[in-house]
Amino acid sequence: MNYTTLPDRLLKQLETLDQDDLNLVAALVEFLQYKKSIQPPIEAKTDLELTTYSKIWSQWFEEVDGLEISLTEPSSEYEEGLLDKYRQQGLTL
């Protein structure tokens, strides 16, 4: 089994390419280097940030649970049919 390193494998593959393909590879490498240079590194979220998100979501759910629901009479046959289906499934509306 061949245990060559990735750089060794890439060099061997590059040797088989013609000049046009080598130019494409060079352009791709330059693009990747440029992209990496302008993109800020992605930082891992800290436990503090995750806790903050958890608190925000909890607060949102509490506010939504406290909203008052006002039911209106169905205004179309479609709405009436939909409500009937819900009632058949045991939902109280």
pLDDT: is 51 or 10 the higher one?
Answer: 10
pLDDT at 81: 92
3-state secondary structure (DSSP) of residue 38: helix
pLDDT at 47: 67
3-state secondary structure (DSSP) of residue 42: coil
pLDDT at 13: 94
pLDDT at 48: 67
pLDDT digits (tens, 9 = 90+) for 30-83: 999 998 888 777 776 666 677 788 888 899 999 999 888 877 788 899 999 998
Q: Tokens standing for 36?
A: 């990496």
